[in-house]
Amino acid sequence: MSTLRETLSDLHRSLRDPPDEIMLEVGAGGELLLARLRLAISAMLMLLPLINYFSGGTAYESLVGLAGVGLVLLLSQIWLTLAQQRRRYRWLPFVSAAFDVTLVSFVLLLLALNSPPAGLNSMVVWCFYPITILGTALRNDGRVTLLAGSLSIAEFLALAAVFIGASTGPLISAEYGTVEIGSVLQRALLLLVVTITTFTIVFRMQRLVQLSGTDGLTGLPNRTYLKHLVPQMLVDSQADNQSLCLALIDLDHFKRINEELGHPVGDRALRHVVDSLRLELGRDEPLIRVGGEEFVLILNQPLGAAWERMEALRRRVQSHAFIPDDGVEARMLTFSAGLACSPQDALDVSGLMRAADLRLRSAKKLGRNRIVARDSH
C-alpha cells in the first residue's frame, strides 16, 4: 500500500507543480514538432472532403469537411509561428490543445446540424479526439493531457445530450446507423481510457527525465541541465540585450574532509553547503552540480551585481559551520569561485566555462575563499 500511496502522491504533485525546466524545454520542442505535424496533416486532410464527395457522400458533408480543414490549415500556420518562439508563450500548449479538441467538436456539430446521426456516429471525425489526446504526450505536460481529455469528453457528451435531448424519436440514418446512448457512453469511456493512458506515459517520461537530469546526492540539476537549458537561457538573454553570468564554484580543501573523516561525512558536508546555498537562492538562480565538489550557478545579472551576489553567498556558507558528528569539532567550509559574463566574456556555455575556470584557478592561487570576476594581468 505504501507504494500505491507514493505513486498517487507523485501523480498529485505532477498535477500541482509545473514540470521542471528540462521537461518544459523538451515540451517546447514537442509543441514545435506538433505544430509542424498539424500543418502537414491539415494539408493532407484536404483530400478527405474530395474522397467523401466522389465516393458517394453528400455535397454538404464534403463542404463542411473542406471548410473545417481550411480553417485548421490557416490556424495551424498561426500555431506554428507562435511555437517557433520557444517557450515565449507559456499558455500555448494549453490553448493549442483546447483548439484541436474544440475543432473536432465543431466539425461534428456542423455534421450534426445537417444529420444528427452523421455528427454523433461519424467515426472518421470522432477518431481525431483520441489522436489529439495522444498528441499531447509530445508536450510533456500532464496538465495539458488532462485538459485535452476532459474537454474531449465534455464536448462530445454535450453534443450528444443536445441532439438526443432535442429529438422526439430515434436518430436513424442509412449511412451512419442508429444513435444509441450506450454507444455514446462507450466512446466517452474510451476517451477517458486514452486520457489516463497518455497521462501515465507523460508522467513516466517526466520521472525518467528528472532522474537523468538530477544529481542523486544533492538533488540538484546535473550536467544535463547545463547542456540543454543554459544555452537557451543565453539565447534569451542576448535577444533581450541582458547580461547572464556563470559562476564556477569549487569547495576549498574538500578532499581533506574525505581523507580525515571519510566519504560519508564528506557527502553530508556537501549537502550542508548545498542546503546553505538553497536557502538564499531564488527559482531564477539555478545551482548545478557539475562533478565532485564543483558547482555552476547561473545569475541573470550584470557582472558587478553578480559578484556582489556571490560574495553574499560566500559569506553565508562561511558563517554556517558544519558539524561532522556528535563530539566532533565543527568545520568551517568555504568556497572559491570564478565568474564569467555573457556577452562580455563569451556567447556560449563552453566559452563561459573556460573563462570562469581560469578565474577560479586565480581565486585558488590568491588564497581561496574568494570570488574572482576579472582576469589578472
In a domain, 133, yes or no: yes
Residues 6+ apart with CB under 8 A from 47: none
- Which pLDDT belongs to residue 2? 45
Q: Could you give the CA distance from residue 94 to residue 47 in angstroms, rounded to a whole number?
A: 29
Residue 294, SS3 per DSSP: strand
DSSP letter at 331 equals: B
Helical segments of 46-84, H only:
47-54, 59-83
In a domain, 218, yes or no: no
Q: Looking at the structure, tell me whether residues 234 and 182 fall in a common domain.
A: no
Q: Looking at the structure, tell me whether residues 18 and 65 fall in a common domain.
A: yes
Q: Could you give the CA distance from residue 142 to residue 162 in angstroms, rounded to a whole number?
A: 30
Q: Looking at the structure, tell me whether residues 8 and 131 fall in a common domain.
A: yes
Q: Could you give the CA distance from residue 308 to residue 314 in angstroms, rounded to a whole number?
A: 10
Q: Looking at the structure, tell me whether residues 170 and 251 fall in a common domain.
A: no
Q: Could you give the CA distance from residue 265 to residue 35 in angstroms, rounded to a whole number?
A: 51
In a domain, 71, yes or no: yes
In a domain, 217, yes or no: no
Last-in-domain residue among 212, 241, 274: 212
Q: Could you give the CA distance from residue 45 to residue 338 in angstroms, rounded to a whole number?
A: 56
Q: Looking at the structure, tell me whether residues 174 and 294 fall in a common domain.
A: no
In a domain, 73, yes or no: yes
Q: Could you give the CA distance from residue 22 to residue 6 in angstroms, rounded to a whole number?
A: 23
Sign of CA dihedral 175, 177, 178, 182: negative
CATH number of the CATH domain containing 312: 3.30.70.270
In a domain, 184, yes or no: yes
Q: Could you give the CA distance from residue 142 to residue 196 in angstroms, rounded to a whole number?
A: 10
Quote the percentage of the chain above a pLDDT of 90: 26
Backbone angles phi, psi at 25, to 5 degrees: -70, -45
| Total domains present in the chain | 2
In a domain, 202, yes or no: yes
How confident is the model over 186-218, as pLDDT tens digits?
Answer: 999 999 999 999 998 888 877 776 666 677 788
Last-in-domain residue among 188, 212, 236: 212
What is the residue range of 146's domain?
2-212
Q: Could you give the CA distance from residue 103 to residue 254 in angstroms, rounded to a whole number?
A: 60
Q: Looking at the structure, tell me whether residues 64 and 177 fall in a common domain.
A: yes
Q: Looking at the structure, tell me whether residues 187 and 93 fall in a common domain.
A: yes
- Which pLDDT belongs to residue 235? 83
Q: Could you give the CA distance from residue 308 to residue 312 in angstroms, rounded to a whole number?
A: 6
Backbone angles phi, psi at 187, to 5 degrees: -65, -40
In a domain, 377, yes or no: no
Give every residue of the chain whose pLDDT is below 70, as ranges: 1-30, 86-89, 209-213, 327-328, 376-377
Q: Looking at the structure, tell me whether residues 207 and 229 fall in a common domain.
A: no
- Which pLDDT belongs to residue 18? 59
Residue with cell 484541436: 100
Last-in-domain residue among 169, 191, 212: 212
Amino acid (one-letter) located at 351: G
Residues 6+ apart with CB under 8 A from 138: 27, 30, 31, 33, 34
Q: Looking at the structure, tell me whether residues 205 and 246 fall in a common domain.
A: no
Q: Looking at the structure, tell me whether residues 241 and 312 fall in a common domain.
A: yes
Burial of 338 (0-12, 13-18, 19+ CB in 10 A): buried
Residue 100, SS3 per DSSP: helix
Quote the percentage of the chain above a pLDDT of 70: 88
- Which pLDDT belongs to residue 1? 42
0.95 surpassed by pTM: no
Residue with cell 442508429: 178
Q: Looking at the structure, tell me whether residues 254 and 108 fall in a common domain.
A: no
How confident is the model over 24-51, as pLDDT tens digits?
Answer: 665 566 677 777 877 887 777 778 777 7
Q: Looking at the structure, tell me whether residues 151 and 248 fall in a common domain.
A: no
